[in-house]
Structure 1
């Protein structure tokens, strides 16, 4: 019987549950859960489709963190960048700092975004240690920006500016 403080990677290596690879995949799983919850609240069909695609890709990202054969590809990054371009053209960009969390949907997307950023930081360390390819780091970086754009999209240009 496996100990509660241990888990297996894809190669069946037994590691501590606080191993950096498990921390990274855990952050990806958390972000995916918040994305899924946000998706259930969003009425816009196109935005729901984007989030469904993102969720599918997040399984690849998680697999990559723990040594699986399924990985984020150049094509996945290109698709993400195309979606970013689509949203950049569809949203009104704020001209100052804004409060991102206007309602339940934007708050959920904001939590997902911050969790993706944590996963990105964990992926940077994995990359430095030779455990993942840089492409994963780049994909997570762009994903956090995509989630920012989605927050702007659900706010429909109605922003709460911050005076600093």
Structure 2
């Protein structure tokens, strides 16, 4: 049995980016990709509650995208070409939104989350993604994010999760 060893490198409040650069755990870059990790975990909860194959498939793909995006945000400019969200990721989200809205039109009023565990989890994931979007906007304002697809992806993802939660209210 393999024994896990602790590096203890983070005990001082720093973490390593994928480039090896050490930064404060409180800095905006780890805060942003950590928020994506949180969103993926909440999506995992939705997936665990869900019996609908369409929802499970979409959530799984989104989780893969969030890993990709997290890696992108944990790199410097020289490494970003290896891991990134691009236009086709955003287009896929838009296509899913359109498909879902054909089956379940969006309500024209405020929605109180909690119809069922799946939709409620998707609504929590949406709010976490909105926080990640705000953190990514801070990266952009600080000159640490040049790729426009990051913010476009997060914005569209929050839209999709709202739509997917409404779909899951009807088809959990």
TM over 0.5: yes
Residue 34 in structure 1 maps to residue 42 in structure 2: yes
- Equivalent positions of 1:106-121 (< 5 A) are 106-121=119-134
**Whole-Å separation in 1 of the counterparts to 2:109 and 2:67:** 35
Q: Which residue matches 1:123?
A: 136
Deviations 1:88-121 (A, max 9, x none): 2121321222212212222211111110000000
- SS of the residue aligned with 2:40? helix
**Whole-Å separation in 1 of the counterparts to 2:160 and 2:134:** 17
- Structure 1 residue 2: Cα displacement: 2.0
Deviations 1:40-96 (A, max 9, x none): 111111111011110110111111211153010111111111111111212132122
Contact 1:92 1:156 in 2 (8 A): no
**Whole-Å separation in 1 of the counterparts to 2:95 and 2:51:** 22
Query: How many corresponding residue pairs?
Result: 157
**Whole-Å separation in 2 of the counterparts to 1:50 and 1:144:** 13
Q: Which residue matches 1:161?
A: none
**Whole-Å separation in 2 of the counterparts to 1:145 and 1:153:** 13
**Whole-Å separation in 1 of the counterparts to 2:88 and 2:10:** 39
Contact 1:106 1:155 in 2 (8 A): yes
- SS of the residue aligned with 2:23? strand
**Whole-Å separation in 2 of the counterparts to 1:8 and 1:78:** 32
Q: Mind listing any 5+ residue stretches in structure 1 that lack a counterpart?
A: 158-164
